[in-house]
Structure 1
Amino acid sequence: MPTADTPGASGPAGSTVPETLFLSTIPGASPSKWVERFTSRERRVQLVNHDDGAQVAFLAPGPGGSAPRGLPQVGYLRWRLDSSPEALLGAAGVDPEDVHVVRFYEEDPVVCVGQDHLLAAWDVEADGPLPASELDPSEAMDPVRFAPEPPADPLDAPELPGSGERTAVEIVATGAGHVVLPASVARMFGRRDVVVLPLTRDTTHPGWGVGLAWLRAVDSQLVQDFIGAAKGRRPGSSRNDHLRDAPSEAAPAGRVRAGAGAARPGPPGKTASGTQGARSVKGARSGKGARGGRGGRRR
C-alpha cells in the first residue's frame, strides 16, 4: 500500500511526494531547460555534478546488475569524436550493451592561453581558427593531471567540480603553456587574463560528442519522460504516448537527436534549477582573436 514515503504517492492532506531522478552532470553541461520542462509537483531532479573522469561511475552496475543504490539515474557523457560512447564505456569497464545512449550535440575544441603567450596575437577574423599544428605538444596542460580521484560512490560529488580544468586554466593564465577544452568548459572557467581561440577540427582535436546515458536495467517511465523533455517535449505532449507503450525502444543507443540547452552554461551557482553548481564566468576577450569558438554544433 502506498505511503507518504513512496515516490509519487499521496501524503497527508493530499500532498504528493515527488519521484526524484538523479542526473549526473559534467563541466560545461547546462541541463536547466531540460529540468524545467521535466519538473512538476510529482517529479523533481537531483543534480550530482561530476568531473569528466567520473562521468561513467553512475553506469557501473551494482549487485545483480541494478543501478547503484537502486536509484533511477541518467547522466551526461562526453567523448572525442574520433572515438565513440561505446569505446568510452568499454574503457571504464561498463558493457555498452547494458547502456542506452542518446546523442544530442557536438562541441568544438578551443585553446586557452595567457595574454602574454605568443598565440594570444592570433587574428581569428583574418586567419580563421587556429590550426592544431601551431600548438607545441610539450606546452599542453592536461586537466586530468590536476583532477582528484573519482569518488567511490557515484552519488558523492567532488567539493569543486571541474577543478582539473580550473587549475589548468589558472596555470595557462600565467603565460605557461596552453590547454585545449570543449568550448562550453572554456566559457565556464574563463578568466579576464586568458585568451580563448577556436581550433580547427582535425584528427588532432576533432571535437567532442555529448549525450545522455542510462542503464537499460533501470529504464522506466521517469527516465523516458526526462529524455522526452531533453528532446523538447513537454508534459502532455502526444509525442510522449509511445514512451508509455514501449519505453525500452524510445531511445535506442546511438540515435542522434538535437537537444535543447546544448552547451550554454547557465547562471552561476544554481543547482536546484538544473545548472552546474560550479561558478560560471564568461570568458574574457583580449586583443585580436580572443573570441572563443562555438559551443556546439547541433544536428
Structure 2
Amino acid sequence: MATQGRRPAGRAGKGSPVRRNRAAPAQRFPPPKPPKKTAKVVFDRPTDAPEEPRSFRLGVIPGATPGKWIDAWKQRMPNVPLELVPIDVADQRSALDDVDAALVRLPLTDDAIHVIALYDETPVVIASRESHLLAADELTIADLAGEIVITLSDDPLGPVEIPGALAPRFAAMPVADAVATAAAGTGILIVPLSLARLHRRKDADHRPLADGPLSTVALAWRREHTTADVDTFVGIVRGRTSNSSR
C-alpha cells in the first residue's frame, strides 16, 4: 500500500527542480611548441681555380691592320689584354718564338709553323710628285726601265726583277727613309699598298704596279703552342662568333 507523502521514485513532481547534467569543462592544452630548428648542412661548393693573369702577344708586321680583330678580342676576352708586338719581315720567323701568334708576310715555310693566309696586297710604285711615272693611272714593270729602284733593308716583297732598272749607289734602307728618298726624286721603290698608305707624304705619291708580285698577309703561330687563346684568336680572324663551333 502506497504511503502518503512519498513520490514515486524516478519522477519529479510539479515544481520540483530538474537536475541537468553539466557539460564537462573544456580542457585547455598548452600552445604547440614550434618545431626545433635543425642545423642546415651546407656543403662546400667546388669552385674553379682562378685563372692566372696573362696577356695575348700578337706580332704585327708593318702595314698590317688588325684593328677589327683587336676590337673583337676585347669584347670576347675582356680579362686577357692583347699586346701588339711590332716585328720586321726579315725577322718574322724568329719573332714567332716570343709571341703567341703573328701577322706575317708570305712566304714563310717551316713545318713547325701553322699558317693561315688572310689576304693579298697589291704592289705599288712610290715616286716623287714631280716624276713622269705618276702621269699614268697604272704602271707595269716595263715602265720602270731606266729608273733607280731603291732597295729596302726589310723588303716585304723580296727582290723584284726589273729589266733595264738601275741599281742605286747607296745602301739598302728602311721604308720610311726610302720613301723620303723617293720624294726627293732620287729613285723609286716598290712596296705593298698598305706601306704606301702608312708612309704617305705630300711630296710623294704611288701608282699600282699591275704585273708586280702580290704580298700575302697571313696569321702564323707555332704548332706546339696552339693554346686556347690562339684558337680563340683564329676563330675571330675567321669570323666565328663566340657561339660558333669549330
Question: Offset at 1:132?
Answer: 1.2
Question: Does the alignment pair 1:130 with 2:157?
Answer: no
Letter in 1 for 2:103: Y
1:31 matched residue in structure 2: 66
After superposition, the C-alpha distances for 1:210-245 in whole angstroms (9 at most, x for unaligned) are 1010001111111010011111223x2223xx3xxx
Q: Which has the higher contact order (CA 8 A, sep 6+)?
A: 1
Letter in 2 for 1:34: W
Question: Offset at 1:17?
Answer: 5.7
Judging by fraction of residues, say which structure has more helix: 1
Question: Does the alignment pair 1:222 with 2:229?
Answer: yes
Give SS of 2:191's match.
strand
Q: 1:175 aligns with which of 178, 185, 206?
A: 185
Question: Offset at 1:25?
Answer: 0.4
Q: 1:29 to 1:145 in 2, by over 3 A?
A: closer
Whether the 8 Å contact between 2:126 and 2:188 is mirrored in structure 1 is: yes
Give the share of equivalent positions with the same residue, in percent.
31
Whether the 8 Å contact between 2:88 and 2:154 is mirrored in structure 1 is: no
> What is the alpha-carbon distance in structure 2 between the residues aligned to residue 171 and residue 76 of structure 1?
28
Give SS of 1:233's match.
coil
Question: Does the alignment pair 1:78 with 2:105?
Answer: yes
Whether the 8 Å contact between 2:63 and 2:194 is mirrored in structure 1 is: yes
Whether the 8 Å contact between 1:17 and 1:42 is mirrored in structure 2 is: no
Give the TM-score, by structure 2 length. Answer: 0.67
Q: 1:119 aligns with which of 125, 133, 147?
A: 133
Whether the 8 Å contact between 2:58 and 2:82 is mirrored in structure 1 is: yes
Whether the 8 Å contact between 1:58 and 1:73 is mirrored in structure 2 is: no
Whether the 8 Å contact between 2:147 and 2:188 is mirrored in structure 1 is: no
> What is the alpha-carbon distance in structure 1 between the residues aligned to residue 215 and residue 231 of structure 2?
24
Whether the 8 Å contact between 2:64 and 2:217 is mirrored in structure 1 is: no
Letter in 2 for 1:180: I
Letter in 2 for 1:142: T
Q: 1:238 to 1:41 in 2, by over 3 A?
A: same
Q: 1:137 to 1:210 in 2, by over 3 A?
A: farther
After superposition, the C-alpha distances for 1:39-87 in whole angstroms (9 at most, x for unaligned) are 233222111112222222223xxxxxxx44xxx51011212xxxxx3xx
Give the TM-score, by structure 1 length. Answer: 0.56
> What is the alpha-carbon distance in structure 2 between the residues aligned to residue 195 and residue 42 of structure 1?
43
CA RMSD of aligned residues (A): 2.4
Runs of 4+ in 1 over 6 A off after TM superposition: none
Q: 1:78 to 1:137 in 2, by over 3 A?
A: farther
Whether the 8 Å contact between 1:146 and 1:167 is mirrored in structure 2 is: no
Give SS of 1:143's match.
coil
Whether the 8 Å contact between 1:9 and 1:18 is mirrored in structure 2 is: no
Equivalent pairs counted in the alignment come to: 181
Whether the 8 Å contact between 1:117 and 1:176 is mirrored in structure 2 is: no
Whether the 8 Å contact between 2:124 and 2:190 is mirrored in structure 1 is: yes
After superposition, the C-alpha distances for 1:182-223 in whole angstroms (9 at most, x for unaligned) are 0011000010110210111x3xx2211110100011111110
Structure 2's unaligned 5+ residue stretches are 1-47, 157-172
Give SS of 1:55's match.
helix
After superposition, the C-alpha distances for 1:160-192 in whole angstroms (9 at most, x for unaligned) are xxx811111000000111010100110000101
> What is the alpha-carbon distance in structure 2 between the residues aligned to residue 215 and residue 137 of structure 1?
43
